[in-house]
Amino acid sequence: MTKPQRQSLADRDASAISSEPPVVAVATPPTPSFSASNEAVDTLAPPTPVTAPRAATRGRVGSYLVGVEFDAARGAFLSDWSLGGQEATFAGWIASALDDYATLSTTERAARRTPRTFQASPNDSGAKIRTFDVPVDVIARMRTAIAADHAVGEWHH
């Protein structure tokens, strides 16, 4: 008995890409029923609210951090979390910290700002960009705070 010849890759691709669209089953909506007064009674479920896609509610924010800074931030998050802090994720904690900082006045932010040294420890290869997904409203408040700091000459790179 002879084996059937195998289709070539080109033949399989051609048969997989059909010129006819696939048949999709379409559900027929229920027919409305009528009450004694001949008013249509809605038998359909109320529409489900459409939620915004994730990209519309969250954005990425990043900062260069040396290992010591990153470790200190993670340690602060874990400390807050173990003491009953509200944020369950590191990114959530970062967003909360950014938001809290952005709500301060320009004078309060200037008083809390410390100079950064980008010198790595002997075991660290240098600053690395760390990015976090945070709510876009937090990013907007952060940018507003940066613009306010620029306006009063308090923002330094």
**What is the tens place of the pLDDT at every residue in 69-83?**
889 999 999 999 999
- Judge whether residue 157 has pLDDT over 60: no
Residue 47 lies in a domain: no
- Judge whether residue 121 has pLDDT over 90: no
The helices-and-strands tally (H runs, E runs) of the chain is 6, 4
| DSSP secondary structure, 87-105, as one string | --SHHHHHHHHHHHHHTS-
More confident residue, 45 or 6: 6
Structure tokens at 85: 């802090």
pTM of the predicted structure, to 2 decimals: 0.58
What per-residue confidence (pLDDT) applies to 91? 93
CA distances from 49 to 12, 57, 137, 140 (A): 42, 16, 21, 25
| Contact status, residue 60 vs residue 136, Cβ threshold 8 Å | no
Residue 46 lies in a domain: no
What per-residue confidence (pLDDT) applies to 54? 45
Query: From CA 156, how far away is CA 8, in angstroms rounded?
Result: 64
Residue 33 lies in a domain: no
- Judge whether residue 156 has pLDDT over 70: no
Residue 3 lies in a domain: no
What per-residue confidence (pLDDT) applies to 27? 52
Residue 130 lies in a domain: yes
What per-residue confidence (pLDDT) applies to 55? 46
If you average pLDDT over every residue of the chain, what do you get?
A: 74
Residue 102: which domain range? 57-151
Portion of the chain with pLDDT greater than 70, in percent: 57
Least confident segment among 17-26, 76-85, 140-149? 17-26
Residue 20 lies in a domain: no
More confident residue, 12 or 143: 143
Q: If pLDDT is split at 50, 70 and 90, which confidence band does 64 have?
A: confident
- Dihedral sign from CA coordinates of 32, 34, 35, 39: positive
Number of domains in the chain: 1
Residue 110 lies in a domain: yes
What per-residue confidence (pLDDT) applies to 24? 45
Contacts of 94 (CB under 8 A, 6+ apart): 61, 73, 77, 132, 134
Residue 78 lies in a domain: yes
